[in-house]
Chain A
């Protein structure tokens, strides 16, 4: 690139030179990654929108264009009811999770409740477990006939019939609410810890008491965090499939997700109707997530500065024991009691609501684990293997994509980076079952249908933003000058990526990978739509056992899944320190 040569070239050369300067390692990599994301995210959504206007005729052979599918949302008795149930369940779980999450976060962050540091990780455990397994556990504990707690109530308290019943809309709210409590907790606890204590101190100096300060200063300041958490819980509950499927569907309580499922795989399969229902659910959730991301989240940091403060700790006096009891009760009801119940049930050949010590056996575990034995259950053994493959491959591919995508969002400017930032939020707005419906319709006629690839595609489409956000948070924290100085030292873009950027991003990449690995190990709503015989996943295995085999086998595989998840959490926390797995 000497001047003489540049000046000596003919007139056509400038344009060519300009083109060549645009084709760099950086632009090629980031543009390719962005195109992949754009296609992966937008194609299923577009297909779904188009399909939802196709109306299947009575025989299910041909279709025409029309609005009939959407009319059914209002007119069809079952679907309209399911819509209503979804709203009731989401509202109920949101209220429950918000009350529990905010109170637990406040106890942990701002009071002298004993053992609060030790209890914190246990408050978060439900976040990493499968709500579907939670529903199975509560069914075994508190269903009218076979529920262990009801049997005890009959035997020891002389109750007629049953004391508790979770096989209804209230049971669904209960299980969903306690499982999503950690979501609110995480949104609120950070703001409470990082709040400038002088904000509260100045309220106290004006003469406001402790209660008044808490109600008029502290809570309003964390309100954006609370609202964010509540919206995410509402959206997640509306998209939850496992809990209503276990506790609702068999007892006449349908939700939109269980209805979408029946339109995708049931005897009355109607993809177009499924697409219309998915769209309706997706529009609501996407709107709410938009409100959270664009209106509420930006306000979270205006009152809470980033400085490291020691927050005010409130002395609860003897009430601190009540706070401890409350926190222990949450851990007991959310984690310990359900898992104990599952364990007890899983050790019986058949479950009739009674512990029979003479019958205890490990036979159920052998049947779901030992694939070499003749009486093993294929859906379970396949599921374990497939889930590990999917979790490993999915987390790895998603993070590999997330690196150039985050790079483009944070290190380049212009239309492309803003567009990509938007694309990375879109999948968060759509429940897994909705995106899965789109993926199914899009790829059903391609060779990847009925393979693990379609599941992989569904997982990555839905969850890669979670991994991307882990990288983004670190990328925002490290100065761009660290990259630039490597370029100035003579390193190409790739060399800089390899020797400077990636080593610095390692903690974020690892944290994101682990989060995705765990999410994929327990994933149900996408898997249930996209699996076929041979490509079952762990959660699909649990679903299969629950539907076609007995409770103890279901409980056994549920315990296996829970143990795998808990082991992963413990191992990864050891490897990565406390920070990992809290976001």
Chain B
């Protein structure tokens, strides 16, 4: 976890704990985000990401910790401060969109301004503008029930940003859409967020979504933070087995670091049958000579060739090779380990063939087990 400078962070969550009965749904987590940033809480269901979001929104009370936005304390367990959700000035987009079925699109979007007693003419103007922004300009007078899922999604976003909140929260907003629409909405949501420039916290279990949209990603599991970083860091340098597996696909080999060759670089030893194989690698945080570790290699960083090109090279047998158009998805058996390999489609590897695997040392990473 990278260190924050709490003074610079706009949204500041410190030591957050939320219990349901004896279950610690959120177990002492802290993070911050700078103004205008887009932070994603990523993890499987039950990892505490939505609970964290609900605590920020004020829809859950918390059992310890503090949440601040700018210079305002939203919740502080220690001093007993609890600002009710309606006073927090937070826009929120829910998983079910929560578009009120008894109002038109325009009424839905105007609601937050109505509550704030904004003047009628200004309301109309702002509602119009924001509906244009989300691409619902001609849907203003439709009832919410007449909208498609994607349109409800846009209406929910319009309602959340129309009052220019301090903070925008998204609770898995795309999970009810079909794949095509979801991919389109990712880009769209990100564009709108950048345009309005509101600091955002986004919750999802979809790693692709997190990679596409975020400035920063927090990977969570069992109420705790596993890793925090930019999309490239999280994908390229996962810190442990959990993150390696959760983000993308990885080949994970058990073994240990034998020596450190340069700062952050070393050699990793794996047992192969009764042989010991040494592989050059980069070293993750907290690993030194002798540490038991896990070697993590992405399938696209394993190169399969028919001829022995370099040393060390791993000789194996192609188990299967599936043509996916832009690549070949291969499984290569090496001893009792099955490598996942993404090969170039022109490689034409066939099942049963002998091949040599070369690992790119720059993208071969030893991580905490």
Contact = CB atoms under 8 A, between A and B. Distances in A.
Interface string A15-29: 111111100100000
A482 B98 contact: yes
Interface in B37-72: 57-59, 61, 68, 71-72
Interface stretch (A5-13, A198-206, A549-557): A5-13
Contact of A479 (B58, B98, B111): B98
Given A3-B73, A488-B85, A504-B101, A495 B80 contact: no
A3 B94 contact: no
Contacts of B57: 484, 488
Contacts of A18: 80, 82
Interface string B280-293: 00000000000000
B183 to A, nearest CB: 24
A485 B94 contact: yes
Contacts of A2: 71-73
Contacts of A21: 61, 80-82
Interface residues of A, number: 33
B225 to A, nearest CB: 24
A336 B230 CA distance: 78
B95 A481 contact: yes
Contact of A481 (B83, B85, B96): B96
A500 B114 CA distance: 13
A14 interface: yes
Given A487-B85, A490-B163, A3 B111 contact: no
Contacts of B92: 484-485, 488
A500 B86 CA distance: 14
B57 to A, nearest CB: 6
A481 B159 CA distance: 14
A504 B81 contact: no
Given A481-B96, A490-B163, A3 B86 contact: no
A504 B102 contact: yes
A488 B80 contact: no
Nearest to B57: A488
A499 B101 CA distance: 12
A19 B81 CA distance: 10
Contacts of A499: 111
Contact of B163 (A14, A481, A489): A489
A27 to B, nearest CB: 11
A209 B293 CA distance: 65
Contacts of A13: 79-80
B262 interface: no
B78 A487 contact: no
A447 interface: no
Contact of A488 (B73, B78, B91): B91
B281 to A, nearest CB: 46
B100 A482 contact: yes
Most A Cβ at <10 Å: residue of B79, B102, B116, B169: B79
B95 A3 contact: no
B76 interface: yes
A16 B82 CA distance: 12
B90 interface: yes
Nearest to A26: B84
A2 B156 CA distance: 30
B72 A1 contact: yes
Contacts of A16: 80
Given A479-B96, A486-B111, A3 B80 contact: no
Interface string B93-128: 011101011100000000110011000000000000
Interface string A206-221: 0000000000000000
B79 A7 contact: yes
B68 A3 contact: yes
Interface centre among B78, B102, B169 (most CB of A within 10 A): B102
A468 B85 CA distance: 28
Q: B87, B88, B115 — which one has the most chain A CB atoms within 10 A of its CB?
A: B115
Interface residues of chain A: helix, strand, loop or mixed (majority)? helix
B89 interface: yes
A11 to B, nearest CB: 10
B80 A15 contact: yes
Contacts of A481: 94-96, 98
A3 B91 contact: no
B77 to A, nearest CB: 9
Contact of A504 (B71, B76, B83, B100): B100
A356 B88 CA distance: 80
A503 interface: yes
Given A489-B163, A491-B86, A6 B76 contact: yes
B71 A3 contact: yes
B150 to A, nearest CB: 18
A217 B354 CA distance: 58
Given A6-B73, A484-B94, A500 B81 contact: no
Contact of A490 (B59, B80, B89, B102): B89
A491 B73 contact: no
Contacts of B87: 490
A25 to B, nearest CB: 9
A464 B73 CA distance: 43
B59 A487 contact: yes
Contacts of B169: 488
B83 A489 contact: no
Interface in B125-165: 156, 159-160, 163
A492 interface: yes
Contacts of B61: 21
A489 B79 contact: no
B164 to A, nearest CB: 12
Given A481-B94, A481-B95, A1 B73 contact: yes
B90 A24 contact: no
From B80, B83, B94, B101, residue with most partner A Cβ within 10 Å: B80
A484 B84 CA distance: 12
Interface in A476-524: 479, 481-482, 484-492, 495, 499-500, 503-504
A490 B159 CA distance: 11
Given A2-B71, A491-B115, A485 B80 contact: no
A485 B159 contact: yes
Given A2-B73, A504-B102, A489 B159 contact: yes
Contacts of A485: 92, 94, 98, 100, 156, 159
A490 B100 contact: no
Interface in B333-361: none
Given A482-B100, A491-B86, A6 B81 contact: yes
A495 B116 CA distance: 12
A489 B80 contact: no
A495 B61 CA distance: 21
B114 to A, nearest CB: 9
Nearest to A485: B98
Contacts of A479: 94, 96, 98
Nearest to B80: A17
Contacts of A500: 100
Nearest to A486: B111
Contacts of A484: 57, 59, 85, 92, 94, 98
A503 B79 contact: no
B74 to A, nearest CB: 8
Contacts of A14: 78-80
A23 to B, nearest CB: 11
Interface in B156-200: 156, 159-160, 163, 169
Smallest CB-CB A-B distances: 3 pairs:
A17-B80, A21-B82, A18-B80
12 contacts: A1-B72, A3-B73, A3-B76, A6-B73, A15-B80, A21-B80, A489-B112, A489-B159, A490-B89, A491-B111, A495-B115, A499-B111
Given A2-B73, A490-B89, A490-B112, 10 more contacts: A1-B81, A2-B71, A6-B76, A479-B98, A481-B95, A486-B100, A488-B90, A488-B92, A489-B163, A503-B102
